Structure 1
Amino acid sequence: MKPTDDKPYFLKGVPVPETPLPGEDPKPWKQTSVVGKPLPRTDGYERVSGAAVYPSDVLLPDMLYGAILRCPYPNARVKSIDISVAERLPGVRAVITGSTPGADLKWSYGDGVSAKLFDPHCRFEGEAVAAVAAETPYQASDALQAIEVKYDVLPFVVDERKAAESGAPAVHQKGNRVAAPTKYERGDVEKGFAEADVVLEEEYRTECELHTPLELHGCVAKWDHNQLTIWESTQGVYAVQSKVAEVLGLPLAKVRVIGHYVGGGFGSKLRAGKYTVIAALLAAKAARPVKLFLSREETFVTCGNRPPTNMKLKAGVKKDGTLTALQLTVTGTGGAFPAGGVSLVDWQVRDLYTCPNVRTEATDFYTHTGPARPFRAPGHPQGSWALEQMLDALAEKIDMDPVELRLKNIPLFSQARDGKPKYSSTGLKECLETGAKAFGWADARKNRSASQPGHLRRGVGMAACLWFVGGGGPPSTIVLKLFADGSANLNMGASDIGTGTKTIMAMVVSEELGVDPSKIFIENADTGTTQFATPSGGSKTIPTESPAVRAAAIEVKRQLLAMAAQDLKVDASRLAMKEGSIYISNEPSRTVKISDVAGLKKRGVIVGVGYRGPNPANLVVNPFGAQFCEVQVDVRTGEIEILRFVAAHESGRVMNRLTFDSQVIGGITMGIGLASTEFRVLDANETGKLCNRNWHDYKLPTSLDITENITSVPVEILDNEANSTGAKGLGEPVTIPTAAAIANAVYNATGIRITHTPINPVQLSLLFSEKPVKG
């Protein structure tokens, strides 16, 4: 294929940056030509046309279908299993239990806690008991029903508040407390409260949210002699490889994991599940490939959640808006095994606003429920729900605007980290001011303060946030190839979890080399062919991978200029690149097309390897944000309509404006779920079972629950110290303040403070009956 004028390999009018000398760090980009533009996804056609092969699309010759038999009780011991009938059913090719040779395996949950792959003591509903592989999914389902299991059903506790009580059924022999409470303290909290003009105390609760990404959890497993290949819907192929190799006792080199596409994860697919190992065991016993994807009902009980939290927050403030003290106590549960039930819930209280006196205490309890998994900004939305509502309550007491109160307490360094390091950039102030202006905050507050007759009441609210990571970091290795015709191949191990990672990496290459992003082919997420990468999560993928991609592109450019220098018979330091050509800086008439460089034509390909360097010493790289919303509440029915949202987020350099705005819309949508529609319903008193295990009963927000009027306002502060591309994370921070902003808006509309999620018509109607809203 030859380049043409209408479809050039190189972008016209795009000068590329200078190449640093070997060993030098690249200078920060100033004005960029490609990075930051709203480019559509490089794989957009594949995704929307159905050509993209997700793991759940994989079909192999002679493939069987796997299924897992799960315990129907929250706490039970397996007394016996009879698989004889299931083994004789038509189409059944393998049945395994914990007593099957090779299946008596250890499964680690971390923190020194482990169980069996098929644990005879099932501590939550949905625990794996046995598994089958058959010719069709229907035959596999029939085989599960034919397995006879006798259980010793035991007492259970599924509410962490009851698990903390004396005499509650014990989840583990050592009791229901996961560990000693996690404590943090700075300053003198009692002194801080004594100095305050106003002290408020309130209890808050957020209900449990369940993971339910569009693509179900699962994989396809295939053995070639002793080499295992897995096609997994995962956020990190190397994390899956490591876990499977550990459990099966295999060398890493014998486990290949492929996950080019993933249909949503949000933290629930950062690691392998038991289903991955079970699929491998079934494939080994049947000597045929096995596809094992969970049902939607299974994912609800086994694939993680955002843990419920119970918070008591006490806060003190002076009349001038100075925060004097914050004290937070938290209890929660990560389920039946260590899973971070209260992890990071207190971080907003510790670090978001300047406050000299802070004390937090968090206690995690075991319950007979499925273990939690990271869920978009773990812990932070729960903490924000309490802190941001408390800030508004304090502002009202001292007769100060909520935005002004927050602006009075902007931090310039991380108060909660050892040594109190500075932030590489701090955009909280700009987010508050820019967002308020874009929203028309002052006028909106003034208009809402007037009496509103009738049953429809409007209110506005806001909340701010930081995300405790989002700066990325090593390791990351990128291999970039520039071919003789000017096209390129980018090789990286990171997953694109739907955030446009591949597109942004192509844009970074284009920025440095001028290659049209559509002419850059990207290999990713395959432990057999791509470079090592940590899982894509924590809003760290772009700031982790993009500096390594830039380094690889710079290395390609260095070699290319050295080759062109031989053709033009000048020193490489005198050369520059533009529009697919290399020219002498002070003699622009002397030029050579990149595709005509003799060395490149002779070699056929130039290979550049880039690595991610360390993060800056003694600095913290965190993104910040502020959100503003307007709601309308029907005080007769309790229905809430979200009218508009403005989200101002500072995440360093905007790498792609289109994907930036998409992340904002998606993050707000998820935050609306926490605020108003999503909560786990357990039959806590009778059976302990999950009651809403489907999309009909578990209410994800739909187009009727959100608003099309979502305005993304990037606050682009060029962070030249964060990394060589200046990027910080965005995906997680956008979800953090959303629920609290909605709660503050509902209070502004009705005068009723909702401290317990979700804010839905049922809860509001009950509150309105107790405390009628006056006109």
Structure 2
Amino acid sequence: MSDDQQGLYYTQDIPVPETPAPNAEPAPWEKTNIVGKPLPRVDGYERVSGTAVYPSDLSLPRMIHGAVVRCPYPHARVKGVDTSTAEKMPGVRAVVCNRTTPSDLKWSWADGIETGLFDPVCRFEGDTVAAVAADTPQQARDAAHAIKVEYEELPFVVDERMALEKDAPRVHEQGNQLKKDEYSRGDVATGFSEADVVREREYRTEAELHTPLELHGCVANWDGDSLTVWESSQGVYAVQAQIAETLKLPLSKVRVIGHYLGGGFGSKLKTGKYSIIAALLAKKAARPVRLFLTREETFLAVGNRPPANMKLKGGVKKDGTLTALEFTGTGTGGAFPAGGTSLLDWLVRDLYLCPNVRCETTDIYINAGPARPFRAPGHPQCSWALEQLLDELAEEIGMDPVELRLKNIPTVSQARKGQPPYTTTGLEQCLRQGAEKFGWQQARRQAQENNGKSHIKRGVGMGACVWVAGGGGPPSTVIVKLFSDGSVNLNMGASDIGTGTKTVMAMVVAEELGVRPEVIQIEHADTGTTQYATPSGGSKTVPTESPTVRAAAVEVKRQLLKMAADHLEVEVDDLRFEGASVVSKSDSSKKVAITSIPTLKKRGVVVGVGYRGPNPDGKVVNPFAAQFCEVEVNTRTGEAKVLRFLSANDSGRVMDRLTYDNQVFGGITMGIGLGMTEVRQFDYGQSGKVLNKNWHDYKLPTALDVPLRMTSLPIDMPDPEANSTGAKGLGEPVTIPTAAAIANAVYHATGKWVTHSPINPPQLMQVLTENRKEG
């Protein structure tokens, strides 16, 4: 793993083994027959018919159900827990709390930060206090309600903007400031002095919640001293490592299975306390335990995209050259270290050419549930600020926003040590081709011409991005087996988190071995039967696993060629694959069908093992994107509607056009949520509780909020230096600049900057009214 990949959020705090060195890398593909086509999901029938068994669908013999007692206060000390009534209730099989668990059983929030599993001090609403297992979910919930807990309420702070004030209540004894990070290059004072225009604004994005369709949870079952957990997870090996470490079990005694996943978006990269609690209940009851959280619990305890408060100052010359950028940001990961300002300033550091940059970020504790990685951590928040300021600078110097960005495209990663070059930089193509396909110039002119005095205004906006990861990398191991009848087994540890990973990998095998995807059987995401893989996050799954799968398939081909050479009595170098046959290059009459190779028929199977090779030395593999949108704003009601949206993405080779487009449309929808509808609302002044912990009051975007016209424009630029399949990540870039592009379009329509998300009717009317009063 290269230096810039170390410590990325999807492998943080988990042991990551090395894999053996790979064989010689195969030559990059030229024209492909299967890869790149729009292939439906290989498990599509199972998913849409309801026959796919998700962890939350699992039902085992004698299985009972768990429920958790959670602290109702943002900050409290547990003085006593009385479980006597609950233990006597019908159907109750096990109860656990602080006094029934070993004193050395600790929960690790981050490296070196541990508390008790049921800690006597609860630092956020929803922290665990006790748990119960019973024959039915209803009995378990009733028993949980019957557990009597005596609390001492403590002072709380749930707003990071107030948490550093002198008299603010302390979340931890050492204070509320977790850490401060600084970065600089050049001299920003000199840069601003050289600028013809300098602008500075403050921005804020509210917390966004993951709320995946499948709730967080698992089923736990003991067989003697061995534990099996079926978990809704993005990475079974990460879950295995955390469970084994917490329960002090050998890895060989913990098996984690996660064949299907009903959404995660980063919140399921690691396990939660629920897996440990389920295992404890199952051990005590000597029965399998199903423990899935309620929707309300997921709003409190299993993650969020942290809010961000940002001040950004930028300087530009009249010709569009950026001279300086200065960024300060604060954020919060909640009550424990959870990446409150992780990667918050990366776009300022790296996206646009700028010799003078200074950044400072401060991570702050508050009494709220810990954050978890959320589709491009830190980047959408930073994009909200950077892309709006870029548009403002462009307007001040009379330059088109697209042209300003084209003027400042980097070819090296400015923020990394030594400023290594990118393997490919498709940002220019994203901007140019995206603007052309969208009709950027014409749309802007029409919006300005048609707005006039009507209260219905139209505007056009855009934004661009780079994603800090998306190059993948080792470790990864994959096994491909070709059977004597030509069918194939693919064995890999990676999770398919709904993005079509299994389909893409089947296409890679089909491309190399000349078989139909339908004859490929896939084993995946099971620590007991598949090979090691890092969690599926960071847009790394396809660029990590596809070259590994290809390497395994190429090894199968190598063995088949040797078998065919012996049979045809020619040299291996004289043979080539031609569909389902092996043919001599020098004498086409010498030919044998793969299934007719005698050695294969005798052995019955050929096994190929593939390993992921390293990323290129001294270079960086990152994807880029540019997005364009048109909005309609009713200035009397504050209603803003996205009419159309286009996303142009440089993510290397397009592997499966159908799943590619699905990722793009899903990312746009999630970005619309951040920009227009979603906000976690606390009762700041009184109880400190979360007020909208349900799908009714927390406004996820619906079909009415998503434009009918969404366009996915792949910039199909295979990256041969990145890996042997030429693929880069896609899942994160498609949501990074979405909210910012909408904000820029709203400004183009109204002439008012909305610097505080979300752009909902109350927020927009406040901005429009305040500006009218100022005028």
For 1:579, give the aligned amino acid: G
For 1:396, give the aligned amino acid: E
Alignment-derived partner of residue 425 in structure 1: 424
Matched residue of 2:244: which SS?
helix
Task: Give yes or no for the alignment of 1:270 onto 2:273.
Answer: no
Deviation at 1:190, TM superposition (A): 0.1
Task: Give yes or no for the alignment of 1:699 onto 2:699.
Answer: yes
Task: Give yes or no for the alignment of 1:530 onto 2:520.
Answer: no
Alignment-derived partner of residue 5 in structure 2: none
Equivalent residues of 1:127, 1:302 under 8 A apart? yes
Equivalent residues of 1:98, 1:104 under 8 A apart? no
Deviation at 1:627, TM superposition (A): 0.2
The residue correspondences of 1:736-747 to structure 2 (distance < 5 A) are 736-747=736-747
1:752-773 deviations in whole A, cap 9, x for unaligned?
1000000001111222223349
Deviation at 1:641, TM superposition (A): 1.2
| Structure 2: tracts of 5 or more residues without a match | 1-21
Task: Give yes or no for the alignment of 1:378 onto 2:372.
Answer: no
The residue correspondences of 1:437-452 to structure 2 (distance < 5 A) are 437-450=436-449, 451-452=451-452
Alignment-derived partner of residue 606 in structure 2: 606
Residues in 2 aligned to 1:103 and 1:755: alpha-carbon distance in whole angstroms: 48
Task: Give yes or no for the alignment of 1:638 onto 2:601.
Answer: no
Alignment-derived partner of residue 690 in structure 2: 690
Residues in 2 aligned to 1:536 and 1:46: alpha-carbon distance in whole angstroms: 21
Matched residue of 2:431: which SS?
helix
Task: Give yes or no for the alignment of 1:126 onto 2:126.
Answer: yes
The residue correspondences of 1:602-751 to structure 2 (distance < 5 A) are 602-751=602-751
The residue correspondences of 1:20-31 to structure 2 (distance < 5 A) are 23-31=23-31
For 1:320, give the aligned amino acid: D
Deviation at 1:405, TM superposition (A): 0.3
Deviation at 1:227, TM superposition (A): 0.4
Superposed CA RMSD in Å reads 1.1
Alignment-derived partner of residue 338 in structure 2: 339
Alignment-derived partner of residue 15 in structure 1: none
Equivalent residues of 1:750, 1:773 under 8 A apart? no
Alignment-derived partner of residue 510 in structure 2: 510
Residues in 1 aligned to 2:186 and 2:612: alpha-carbon distance in whole angstroms: 38
Matched residue of 1:256: which SS?
strand
For 1:370, give the aligned amino acid: G
Residues in 2 aligned to 1:218 and 1:363: alpha-carbon distance in whole angstroms: 32
1:648-698 deviations in whole A, cap 9, x for unaligned?
000011111111111000000000000000000000110010100110000
**Greater CA deviation, 366-375 or 757-766?**
757-766
Alignment-derived partner of residue 411 in structure 2: 412
Residues in 1 aligned to 2:525 and 2:268: alpha-carbon distance in whole angstroms: 14
Distance 1:142 1:560, change over 3 A: same
For 2:98, give the aligned amino acid: G
Matched residue of 1:160: which SS?
coil
Alignment-derived partner of residue 8 in structure 1: none
Alignment-derived partner of residue 755 in structure 1: 755
Alignment-derived partner of residue 491 in structure 1: 491
1:386-409 deviations in whole A, cap 9, x for unaligned?
000000000000000000000000
Deviation at 1:588, TM superposition (A): 2.0
Equivalent residues of 1:182, 1:363 under 8 A apart? yes
Alignment-derived partner of residue 49 in structure 1: 49
Deviation at 1:216, TM superposition (A): 0.3
Deviation at 1:157, TM superposition (A): 0.2
Residues in 1 aligned to 2:485 and 2:174: alpha-carbon distance in whole angstroms: 66
**Greater CA deviation, 577-586 or 298-307?**
577-586
Deviation at 1:103, TM superposition (A): 6.9
Alignment-derived partner of residue 318 in structure 2: 319
Equivalent residues of 1:633, 1:640 under 8 A apart? yes
1:231-263 deviations in whole A, cap 9, x for unaligned?
000000000000000000000000000000000
Distance 1:699 1:103, change over 3 A: farther
1:431-464 deviations in whole A, cap 9, x for unaligned?
0001000001111112222243322111000000
1:66-124 deviations in whole A, cap 9, x for unaligned?
01000000000000010001000000000000110447511111142111110110000
Alignment-derived partner of residue 5 in structure 1: none
Residues in 2 aligned to 1:240 and 1:23: alpha-carbon distance in whole angstroms: 30
For 1:359, give the aligned amino acid: R
1:447-501 deviations in whole A, cap 9, x for unaligned?
2222433221110000000000100000000000000100000000000000000
Residues in 1 aligned to 2:691 and 2:147: alpha-carbon distance in whole angstroms: 24
For 2:49, give the aligned amino acid: S
1:524-561 deviations in whole A, cap 9, x for unaligned?
00000000000000000000011110000000000011
Residues in 1 aligned to 2:673 and 2:399: alpha-carbon distance in whole angstroms: 30
For 2:533, give the aligned amino acid: A
Task: Give yes or no for the alignment of 1:193 onto 2:192.
Answer: yes
Matched residue of 1:763: which SS?
helix
For 1:764, give the aligned amino acid: L
**Greater CA deviation, 577-586 or 213-222?**
577-586
Task: Give yes or no for the alignment of 1:365 onto 2:352.
Answer: no
For 2:372, give the aligned amino acid: R
Alignment-derived partner of residue 555 in structure 2: 555
For 2:281, give the aligned amino acid: L
The residue correspondences of 1:96-111 to structure 2 (distance < 5 A) are 96-102=96-102, 105-111=105-111
The residue correspondences of 1:107-186 to structure 2 (distance < 5 A) are 107-179=107-179, 181-186=180-185
Equivalent residues of 1:96, 1:103 under 8 A apart? no
Alignment-derived partner of residue 228 in structure 1: 227
Alignment-derived partner of residue 203 in structure 1: 202
Deviation at 1:23, TM superposition (A): 4.6
Residues in 2 aligned to 1:773 and 1:594: alpha-carbon distance in whole angstroms: 79
For 1:187, give the aligned amino acid: G
Matched residue of 1:688: which SS?
coil
For 1:481, give the aligned amino acid: K
For 2:273, give the aligned amino acid: K
Residues in 2 aligned to 1:336 and 1:382: alpha-carbon distance in whole angstroms: 20
Matched residue of 2:746: which SS?
helix
Alignment-derived partner of residue 216 in structure 1: 215
Residues in 2 aligned to 1:160 and 1:538: alpha-carbon distance in whole angstroms: 27
Equivalent residues of 1:103, 1:117 under 8 A apart? no
Alignment-derived partner of residue 64 in structure 1: 64
Residues in 2 aligned to 1:118 and 1:550: alpha-carbon distance in whole angstroms: 46
Equivalent residues of 1:111, 1:338 under 8 A apart? no
1:599-628 deviations in whole A, cap 9, x for unaligned?
111000000000001100000000000000
1:701-757 deviations in whole A, cap 9, x for unaligned?
000001121100101112110011110000001000000000000000011100000
Residues in 1 aligned to 2:708 and 2:574: alpha-carbon distance in whole angstroms: 52
| Structure 1: tracts of 5 or more residues without a match | 1-21
Aligned residues: 752
Deviation at 1:589, TM superposition (A): 2.6
Alignment-derived partner of residue 240 in structure 1: 239
Matched residue of 2:666: which SS?
helix
Equivalent residues of 1:216, 1:293 under 8 A apart? yes
Q: Percent identity?
A: 68
Residues in 2 aligned to 1:150 and 1:24: alpha-carbon distance in whole angstroms: 64
Deviation at 1:284, TM superposition (A): 0.1
Residues in 2 aligned to 1:34 and 1:588: alpha-carbon distance in whole angstroms: 25
Residues in 1 aligned to 2:103 and 2:66: alpha-carbon distance in whole angstroms: 15
Residues in 2 aligned to 1:457 and 1:717: alpha-carbon distance in whole angstroms: 37
Equivalent residues of 1:103, 1:281 under 8 A apart? no
Residues in 2 aligned to 1:743 and 1:588: alpha-carbon distance in whole angstroms: 63
Residues in 2 aligned to 1:49 and 1:387: alpha-carbon distance in whole angstroms: 44
Alignment-derived partner of residue 458 in structure 2: 458
Residues in 1 aligned to 2:116 and 2:388: alpha-carbon distance in whole angstroms: 43
Alignment-derived partner of residue 479 in structure 2: 479
Residues in 2 aligned to 1:101 and 1:713: alpha-carbon distance in whole angstroms: 54
Alignment-derived partner of residue 4 in structure 2: none
Residues in 2 aligned to 1:530 and 1:557: alpha-carbon distance in whole angstroms: 22
Residues in 1 aligned to 2:43 and 2:772: alpha-carbon distance in whole angstroms: 53
Alignment-derived partner of residue 12 in structure 2: none
Equivalent residues of 1:97, 1:103 under 8 A apart? no
